[in-house]
Structure 1
């Protein structure tokens, strides 16, 4: 006997199966294994247009748990404003709700449509007696019922047919009435249903599904984890999508991207690694999925590509190696050896590759480049080499020239060398954890050699700062936050650190209200305010914060956190925006067109704010902070499982569920090695 394969994606965990997977439809709720889709369509007669609420729509993105158990948004179309909410009473049920908050026209003329479909074309049916729509896929039946029944049910071949009918014939058109279709449209207007609830349920018998939606469970809203953790979860949740080309879930840099331009999917190396790092606070399995995607792209020559899309693959270049640093921290947080077991060999090959092919003049220090492999756009150009830095148009590259013979720039980069040094160190930690002592010693030796060279070669004693250096021996005039990266790899002496802190706090150099501009404030390029020419980038604040923590400069680290949190709040608190980058003076994200409004790595700003309470660092272990005002944060992932940290009456308590597993009235930092029971 053979069992029919009715699950399209059986590898999706049940609790995550229902989610807003479609990048171009913010409010479409779909169940990936069954291929079932519930697509809200909105029609405003005043403008004669429909919308699916995708990128570019007038929408404010609210809460969004990464697993889809809570999704909230507010939006406007044709002058009418609505709030929309999904919750999941169980893995097999969804509760939906809309509420009109402002009418832009008579509610009779504004229509909310729940368009029901299934990826493989399974038919939906409407039962008039129970006012329930349903679809059967294999042994499973999906039912949906609204508190206020639809005023009209229509049948269509495609979603585009439904939209075209509205925009051509208006809402009076009745010829498409039907009870069975590939796309079944449940139509409501706001005169009868200014507010409405609906329930979706899956069962192994149609009658059971009908019974479940007839008496829906009450909507339960998950409680807050704390402002910083909530922001991180929401940014990850809204950017969690389905890659229909490669049949896998992942967290994109931004669902605002036009994925058609990228051939259906696209991921940058470091951006996606950071997504894995952030989502690991909540869901280790999602972190694993995103890392597995990156690692699967490793090239035969050894490197991890800079970007992979459906149209292009930049295998000739990589990006600065952050992934070992990220994987090691995920391991420290989760205690799960799977992460280092799955990643170590690939990351070690990437490290060996970059040290062997990016030393264009053979002096043991590295430059950015573009190898003679693949057919990626810009291959073999200065632009391609700059792409490796992920600071593509930074003025620190202005003086560099492309060297065709070495296929590198003729400028040794302090940021690159510091991060490769850190990469060696993190690989050594992994190798030791895996029992590979000989490999650990090799990585340690590489790190120590680079550390010594960085501390002397890149130090400009005239300016008292680390700077890039041309092959001619001259220091590059422009400096960026990469000048602080020697702190991150342990290459800066105490005396050098003193000078770096002065630059960090100086409002004419890297100080200011909101953190680090991408080039020093006394550089003419800061006024360009274009991408890496002046704007503040969350990843630069995060890396510099890590360097300050490693150097034991906790006061400076905390001040940078405060600036970063203030910067993030300017866009997030009222507008719920997570801009890709920010104006260096005003802190505004959307003051010019080269900024994505909801970029995933901006979650690094709330991350470092949360890290003031609890963090896992390679150089300090598990760090808790018992200071400041009372707080409660969590649940959040730890080696002991999901925990909550509270401070009440000067006492810090760590809880797993209801159980208090650690209590201390010691004030300040509490740090120690990471152990599990």
Structure 2
């Protein structure tokens, strides 16, 4: 039962249920559900997830929700809007007719999960339901052909399929489910409104007032970064659902899986961390919800479980540790100390668990395994141990043997150990920020020791690449993009980096088009095109991109980001799908039956499409960039709060609300951007020509002083404080200080 008073009011009306077209008001458990009936097939539907529903734009707060609904050859464009937290409006428009409109019926079903009676007030032309002291009123612009009553939504469906649309025997003035019935001959287009108030007449008046207002539809995004940001938002919003079992909101792996596959909810460890990272691009609260879904499952043994669902718990396993990397990025973006305070201890225990449980020989390198706890599916098996990698059927595991004595695979995994090194590095940063200096020192030492072992032990000099290796033996033949994770960990030497880049370029290896294949194209398993055997996976592209950025390989990283987003966009714009993975030869995601079409981490490809304009990373802090072109990006979350970026005529503007904070003609990336009361600091890229930085909210009376790499530079007052930047062949650090306090920065 989706009822909760603990949801932020601005998100209370939303697409919380498993039916994408159904809107739910969580505090009261109210449901507004579309139902369609086609006489041509004699079938009715509630638009469950599947081919009949194309997911459109979706604001996180539900203020805009768009879908295309299809049934028996008829297609409707459906839209919800929200004028205030207690009211929603909606509309439909027939886009394509599959039969004579009089035989196709569209219905608005109103119900409450507490079983309260819904009444039809003919004088008001409204459906009314009272829940506690609140009243909800549903009205439509066109009056319904008839109003019917039913015990449940399922019975409403059955009524149509048993009796057809001529039937009048189910007419009612009160029932647990009341249905406003319309046909597409009489109502090809229609608008409706539902309002909640503390008096019935107020609810009806508010609903009628909403219908009197014209619809205001936001414009569609323009420009590649804006399209990418909107896609990221839409995927996160659509996959954010209500977990009625645990009474929480979270971003599901896919809203299509929660009931059918997992029985009500499913928290796959690294999927949930990625969901938190992507949600954090917009909303720290939703990022916290997703982190809480992970941390609430922490085990007494110390690990974060690989998978928790309504029907199973893989507590014997974890997954490669990306949590520290995700949480530190969220902290850098939002500068909210509670993100670290709530995460650090749990992540530190999880990190310690890896070394205690997955390094049986005390070698300083870890292997995947499955511990003797719980009774999860595949526990104590070779396949169960492979689950920890998230790459269940990858050929990099083909040569591994499961050691029953240690309950681990007998392979040192390069991806796992690289992410363990990165995790230790991120934990060191967190501990230092929290004032835990001894722990910070210990984590940093662990990170350096792990990096050294990766560099020395997991580098296959003959092939010139990092690879998995048998404990005390030779290298594994198969290679995956995890061979490039030492870049992300900072574990590769300059010579090793050069060799790795050669493999990324090699069309018979990990180059070619599209990228990055889940196994080398030269591997016999590449042709299998089955899940992790050859296909392209968004987490690979995202983590390799971050590794390239860490080492200043920005042109390579940008090319990977552009190609990744182009691959995503080819599926998104034509079919509105966010694929779990792609064919590495054709780029087609749905060429085999195993790919989920609306998978949350698929939006990592969209996140890469934003990175040219803005990003937040441990290596470069907050970045804003001017790649050229025209358009606006945002709003998105930043260390300053919600901001926008506008590109026009070669200039970049950083805007908060109605105020321009920064304007510049600097091309490329400005990194390590920080704005506080009395100080602004940033790193400039090399400048081919003289440029400027303008800060319109500052003036000469604040006695500003600017320096570039410690040397004073000139400022003037021209529409704010203008800093003159000379051409320079190298990056430089700029600092601007002033005496007066500026509020709101």
Same fold (TM over 0.5): yes
Partner of 1:181: 175
What's the secondary structure of 1:502's corresponding residue?
Answer: helix
- TM alignment of 1:447-486, pairs within 5 A: 447-486=447-486
Moved more, 66-75 or 363-372: 66-75
Q: CA 1:301 to 1:623, structure 2 compared with 1: closer, same or farther past 3 Å? A: same
Partner of 2:374: 374
**1:190 positional shift:** 0.6
**1:630 positional shift:** 2.5
Do structure 1's residue 21 and structure 2's residue 16 form an aligned pair?
yes
Partner of 1:215: 209
What CA distance in whole angstroms lies between the structure 2 residues aligned with 1:107 and 1:34?
A: 35
Corresponding residue to 2:122 among 115, 119, 128: 128
Do structure 1's residue 655 and structure 2's residue 651 form an aligned pair?
no
- TM alignment of 1:63-82, pairs within 5 A: 63-82=57-76
Partner of 1:3: none
- TM alignment of 1:284-323, pairs within 5 A: 284-323=284-323
Alignment deviations for residues 439-494 of structure 1 (CA, whole Å, 9 cap, x no partner): 11110000010011111111000000000001242100000000100000100011
What CA distance in whole angstroms lies between the structure 1 residues aligned with 2:523 and 2:51?
A: 37
- TM alignment of 1:415-426, pairs within 5 A: 415-426=415-426
- TM alignment of 1:145-164, pairs within 5 A: 145-164=139-158
Contact 1:527–1:534 (8 Å) recurs in 2:
yes
Runs of at least 5 residues in structure 2 that lack an aligned partner in the other structure = 678-745
Do structure 1's residue 58 and structure 2's residue 52 form an aligned pair?
yes
Task: Specify the structure having the higher radius of gyration (Cα).
Answer: 2
What CA distance in whole angstroms lies between the structure 1 residues aligned with 2:161 and 2:338?
A: 52
Contact 1:332–1:674 (8 Å) recurs in 2:
no
What CA distance in whole angstroms lies between the structure 1 residues aligned with 2:516 and 2:597?
A: 19
Contact 2:258–2:265 (8 Å) recurs in 1:
no
Partner of 1:84: 78
Partner of 2:712: none
Alignment deviations for residues 391-419 of structure 1 (CA, whole Å, 9 cap, x no partner): 00000000000001111000000000000
What's the secondary structure of 2:410's corresponding residue?
Answer: strand
Contact 1:525–1:533 (8 Å) recurs in 2:
yes
Alignment deviations for residues 97-127 of structure 1 (CA, whole Å, 9 cap, x no partner): 0000111111111111111110010111111
Contact 1:654–1:661 (8 Å) recurs in 2:
yes
Q: CA 1:8 to 1:253, structure 2 compared with 1: closer, same or farther past 3 Å? A: closer
**1:514 positional shift:** 2.1
**1:621 positional shift:** 1.1
Moved more, 601-610 or 660-669: 660-669
**1:551 positional shift:** 0.9
What CA distance in whole angstroms lies between the structure 1 residues aligned with 2:494 and 2:99?
A: 67
Q: How many residues align?
A: 671
Moved more, 265-274 or 253-262: 253-262
Q: CA 1:236 to 1:13, structure 2 compared with 1: closer, same or farther past 3 Å? A: same
**1:235 positional shift:** 0.5
Moved more, 52-61 or 256-265: 256-265
**1:675 positional shift:** 5.0
**1:173 positional shift:** 1.1
Runs of at least 5 residues in structure 1 that lack an aligned partner in the other structure = 1-5
- Greater relative contact order: 1 or 2 (C-alpha under 8 angstroms, separation 6 or more)? 1
Contact 1:639–1:676 (8 Å) recurs in 2:
no
**1:629 positional shift:** 1.8
- TM alignment of 1:371-450, pairs within 5 A: 371-450=371-450
Alignment deviations for residues 159-184 of structure 1 (CA, whole Å, 9 cap, x no partner): 11111110011111111111111011
What's the secondary structure of 2:555's corresponding residue?
Answer: helix
Alignment deviations for residues 531-575 of structure 1 (CA, whole Å, 9 cap, x no partner): 000000001000000000001111110110111011101101111
Partner of 2:494: 494
What CA distance in whole angstroms lies between the structure 2 residues aligned with 1:646 and 1:237?
A: 24
**1:343 positional shift:** 0.5
Partner of 2:31: 37
**1:223 positional shift:** 4.5
**1:628 positional shift:** 2.6
**1:55 positional shift:** 1.9
What's the secondary structure of 1:574's corresponding residue?
Answer: helix
What CA distance in whole angstroms lies between the structure 2 residues aligned with 1:628 and 1:474?
A: 49
**1:9 positional shift:** 1.1
Alignment deviations for residues 179-219 of structure 1 (CA, whole Å, 9 cap, x no partner): 11101111111111110000011111111111111221433
What CA distance in whole angstroms lies between the structure 1 residues aligned with 2:260 and 2:595?
A: 19
Alignment deviations for residues 475-526 of structure 1 (CA, whole Å, 9 cap, x no partner): 0000000010000010001100001001001111011222110001110101
Contact 1:335–1:676 (8 Å) recurs in 2:
no
**1:130 positional shift:** 1.7
TM-score, normalising length: structure 2:
0.89
What CA distance in whole angstroms lies between the structure 2 residues aligned with 1:42 and 1:106?
A: 14
**1:244 positional shift:** 1.1
What CA distance in whole angstroms lies between the structure 1 residues aligned with 2:622 and 2:529?
A: 38
Moved more, 172-181 or 250-259: 250-259
**1:131 positional shift:** 0.7
**1:260 positional shift:** 4.3
Partner of 2:544: 544
What CA distance in whole angstroms lies between the structure 1 residues aligned with 2:649 and 2:154?
A: 59
